[in-house]
């Protein structure tokens, strides 16, 4: 018969009269201890938090991941994509991170450490705590300024007062409609529950709760006096017995990724998480070497400073290893512990952290805090911060089986001071008395740059508030106001969840001009081509049949390209990626990439359509919108194909000086000017054959000063009158219908691309265009449109001069030949053409006409 495990709250329950009632598994999640704090006598000691009780890292991380997945299910994919997680210092910093991991959301945690040069954007009080003041120090002030759900994470909800203080503070500055409270245990009384519910009703907000367990703590009326007597009776923790020889100390210079935050003090995004995930195996190898395992390349002596004693390190792996974090620095050590456990195998690794909380230690199996080491603060604490810090359950006490063979202490460089190692009571000195090996790993403390996006309009540093005494509120910068995105069916024929258009609806404005008039304007100066629209081409029955033939022939190949791009983006950007397609040709591609991610990986990536205009750049209001609602480095710009690379260059110029990645992702890159592509072959993407009827019934984008103000998105029209010929949904469904059949092929193609050393753009397409322009006496490369897609556009929208076709090109050009015949344009077969075909716009077209605005327009992309 297996012995029943002793509940680690029994000692307090029997002697102090404290009772714990609630969920059946509540005793498995928490034990009890007594605080040395007259504000609150008892302490709930979590067994899965990784703070006071060493625990398997998979259990600690898994507890938060599970809560995050539950929050995601509660919110739904669209709301979850806009959520932000806020964890509480110091105990819930890793828990907040882990919830954000499960939710796939950015996160921030409060902090009690002021950071020189970073002004607080807010703060609140945790009234029962030993250290009450919390600061909010996001590197990007927009992190807390959005209107999506705010997820507040703490290890326990005891009264709800801290949450109430937080919501009151943040809501006054940046109101939102939905808050979610997340905790391992909810132990509020009915009165506290009603108080928080009434507060939410007063604000007019939705307030949800997700908790692992719930219950209540029953306290006697004289609990403070009882606790004080018990603490006096137990007396101070015994001194450590002198060790025969101090354990060896090895300092490991971890190869931490440059500029990767060491935690969420200033914000931590899904893109940061992806970088950390990629680095963890390498970092775990370094720790394994330091522990003597020889699994990461050998000990060698390249591990930094060694401090003698104990006979030195050997190649034998310890059986019991503790990875010990430092106060708020919980998440990075937790993930390091998990990676080390995965690398070493077995059940060797546990994880916990140091703390500021003074707690009584009683070496009894029925008490949650068995042993305590008290040591001087080593991180240059502020004048009002406690000068003594603690680590619990690391010394073995009376039970030798609880002894750790090795301790890996992880601190940041701010805490790597002389006080950490020098003196009898220093933390490292004491750790070397209770274990056989000590490894010190120091991470660079992340210091954010300001402003994060220097090209965007942010308040100057002087606009941010000075730190104030808590709990007096701190001022926030005013939120940025944006127009609302457009969605179908009100704008476009796409489903509302497929794409959000960052555009202004100009459907009621007459903007169309005949093709000949627009061409005259394009070539002879004046206003810009984006100030008018071509008349939408209505395909003949013969041409429609060619489109359907092309779709049937190309759908599978296109599905492979979509999957290859999606898998590449997921591998390189992580699950935090946000799709921004270049309207309109890129939009069906963005939708298909989003569908692949949902099909193959079960998550819904946010997807926006944005306008880019050659010579004018990317819509700046749309760019600010994306930066305000998402982590800029996680945004991926998507288009259908490249020609000579003009839009690639335009995008890079528009994003210079921002934190957005200027890389463009396309299905086909015959111009060889991007790194992320499905293929570099010049093949027919059938959506190029049509205009709005394959692009959600949306026009090209429009930029005209009398229609688009400084705070407006660029504009476009929704052609509802063309609905009878709309094939947008059928196009998407046809391509997506091949996803299951090409999954293995995609895996091979994406794998080849990942290892391809030749992905660097060489701009061979641009060089070819310059050669063709010179050969045919064309004065501007803008009149040379290479590739099947661009040639099709020439024939549909411009005044074509001739088409160059690679000799022997087959069915991919059937629709080009038909359009050319309809417009009386010669098709010239050419040898050694790097593209399947090239469309040449008439270089000297003049009709003396103007565009719809009454003025001339200049060069088109």
pLDDT of 145 reads 87
pLDDT of 491 reads 96
Rounded CA Rg of the chain: 32
pLDDT of 546 reads 79
pLDDT of 123 reads 55
Which of the two residues, 297 and 192, has the higher pLDDT score?
Answer: 192
The average pLDDT across 123-142 equals 64
Cβ(810)–Cβ(684) below 8 Å: no
Give tens-digit pLDDT for 432-466.
Answer: 999 999 999 999 998 886 433 333 233 333 333 33
Give tens-digit pLDDT for 615-629.
Answer: 788 999 999 999 888
Cβ(506)–Cβ(836) below 8 Å: no
Give tens-digit pLDDT for 222-250.
Answer: 888 898 889 888 887 777 766 678 999 99
Dihedral angle at the C-alpha atoms of 377, 381, 387, 391, nearest 10 degrees?
A: -40
Q: Percentage of the chain surpassing pLDDT 70?
A: 86
Backbone φ, ψ for residue 375 (5° rounding): -145, 160
pLDDT of 478 reads 33
Least confident of 81-90, 792-801, 812-821: 792-801
CA dist., res. 54 & res. 405, Å (int) = 14
pLDDT of 125 reads 45
Of residues 597, 599, 581, the one with CA closest to residue 589: 581
CA dist., res. 613 & res. 619, Å (int) = 8
CA dist., res. 213 & res. 22, Å (int) = 8
CA dist., res. 408 & res. 443, Å (int) = 13
pLDDT of 538 reads 79
Give tens-digit pLDDT for 658-712.
Answer: 888 899 999 999 888 999 999 998 888 888 878 899 999 999 999 988 899 988 9
């Amino acid at each position: 018969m297996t012995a029943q495990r002793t509940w680690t709250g029994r000692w307090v329950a029997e002697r102090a009269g404290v009772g714990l009632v609630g969920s059946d598994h509540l005793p498995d999640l928490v034990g009890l201890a007594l605080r040395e704090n007259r504000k609150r006598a008892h302490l709930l000691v979590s067994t899965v938090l990784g703070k006071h009780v060493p625990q398997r890292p998979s259990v600690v991380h898994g507890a938060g991941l599970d809560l995050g997945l539950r929050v995601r299910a509660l919110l739904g994919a669209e709301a979850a994509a806009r959520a932000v997680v806020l964890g509480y210092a110091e105990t819930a910093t890793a828990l907040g991170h882990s919830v954000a991991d499960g939710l796939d959301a950015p996160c921030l945690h409060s902090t009690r450490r002021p950071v020189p040069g970073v002004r607080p954007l807010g703060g609140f009080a945790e009234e029962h705590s030993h250290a009450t003041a919390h600061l909010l120090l996001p590197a990007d002030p927009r992190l807390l300024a959005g209107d999506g759900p705010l997820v507040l994470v703490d290890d326990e909800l005891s009264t709800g007062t801290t949450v109430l203080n937080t919501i009151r503070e943040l809501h006054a500055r940046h109101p939102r409609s939905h808050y979610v409270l997340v905790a391992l245990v909810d132990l509020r009384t009915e009165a506290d529950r009603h108080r928080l519910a009434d507060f939410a009703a007063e604000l007019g907000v939705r307030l949800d709760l997700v908790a692992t367990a719930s219950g209540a703590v029953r306290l006697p009326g004289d609990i403070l006096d009882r606790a004080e007597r018990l603490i006096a009776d137990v007396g101070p923790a015994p001194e450590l017995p002198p060790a025969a020889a101090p354990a060896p100390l090895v300092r490991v210079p971890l190869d931490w990724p440059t500029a990767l935050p060491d935690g969420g003090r200033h914000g931590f995004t899904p893109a940061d998480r992806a970088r950390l995930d990629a680095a963890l195996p390498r970092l775990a190898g370094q720790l394994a070497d330091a522990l003597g395992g020889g699994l990461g390349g050998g000990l060698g002596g390249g591990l930094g400073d060694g401090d003698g004693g104990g006979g030195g390190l050997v190649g034998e792996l310890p059986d019991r290893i503790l990875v010990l974090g430092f106060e708020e620095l919980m998440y990075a050590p937790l993930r390091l512990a998990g990676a080390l456990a995965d690398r070493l195998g077995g059940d060797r690794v546990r994880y916990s952290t140091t703390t500021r909380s003074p707690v009584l230690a009683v070496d009894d199996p029925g008490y949650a805090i068995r042993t305590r080491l008290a040591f001087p603060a080593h991180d240059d604490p502020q004048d009002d911060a406690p000068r003594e810090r603690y680590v619990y359950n690391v010394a073995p006490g009376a039970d030798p089986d609880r002894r750790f063979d090795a301790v890996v202490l992880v601190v940041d460089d701010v805490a790597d001071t002389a006080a950490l190692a020098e003196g009898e009571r220093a933390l490292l000195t004491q750790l070397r008395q209770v274990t056989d090996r000590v490894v010190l790993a120091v991470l660079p403390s992340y210091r954010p740059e300001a402003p994060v996006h220097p090209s965007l309009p942010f308040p100057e540093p002087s606009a941010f508030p000075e730190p104030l005494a808590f709990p007096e509120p701190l001022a926030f910068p005013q939120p940025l106001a944006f127009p609302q995105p457009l969605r179908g069916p009100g704008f476009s024929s796409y489903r509302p969840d497929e794409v959000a258009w960052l555009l202004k609806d100009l459907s009621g404005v007459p903007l169309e001009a005949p093709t000949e008039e627009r061409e005259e304007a394009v070539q002879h100066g004046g206003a810009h081509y984006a100030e008018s629209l071509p008349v939408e081409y209505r395909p003949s029955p013969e041409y429609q049949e060619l489109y359907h033939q092309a779709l049937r022939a190309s759908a599978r190949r296109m599905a492979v390209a979509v999957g290859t791009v999606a898998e590449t983006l997921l591998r390189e950007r992580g699950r935090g990626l946000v799709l921004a397609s270049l309207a309109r040709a890129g939009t069906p591609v963005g939708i298909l990439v989003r569908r692949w991610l949902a099909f193959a990986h079960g998550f819904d990536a946010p997807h926006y359509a944005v306008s880019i205009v050659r010579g004018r750049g990317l819509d700046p209001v749309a760019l600010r919108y994306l930066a305000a609602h998402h982590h800029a480095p996680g945004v991926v710009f998507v288009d259908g194909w490249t020609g000579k690379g003009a839009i690639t260059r335009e995008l890079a110029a528009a994003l210079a000086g921002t934190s957005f990645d200027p890389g463009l992702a396309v299905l086909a890159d015959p111009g060889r000017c991007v790194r992320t592509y499905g293929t570099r072959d010049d093949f027919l993407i059938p959506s190029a054959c049509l205009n709005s009827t394959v692009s959600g019934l949306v026009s090209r984008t429009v930029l005209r000063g009398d229609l688009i103000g400084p705070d407006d998105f660029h504009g476009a029209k929704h052609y509802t009158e063309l609905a009878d010929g709309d094939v947008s949904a059928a196009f998407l469904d046809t391509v997506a219908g091949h996803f299951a059949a090409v999954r293995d092929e995609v895996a091979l193609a994406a794998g080849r691309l990942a290892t391809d050393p030749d992905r660097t753009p060489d701009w061979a397409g641009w060089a070819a265009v310059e050669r063709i322009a010179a050969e045919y006496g064309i004065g501007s490369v803008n009149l040379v449109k290479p590739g099947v897609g661009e040639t099709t556009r020439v024939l549909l929208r411009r005044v074509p001069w001739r088409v160059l076709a690679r000799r022997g090109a087959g069915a991919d050009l059937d629709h080009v030949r038909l359009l050319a015949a309809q417009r009386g344009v010669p098709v010239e077969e050419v040898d050694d053409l790097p593209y399947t075909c090239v469309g040449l716009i008439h270089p000297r077209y003049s009709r003396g006409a103007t565009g719809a605005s009454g003025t001339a327009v200049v060069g088109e992309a």
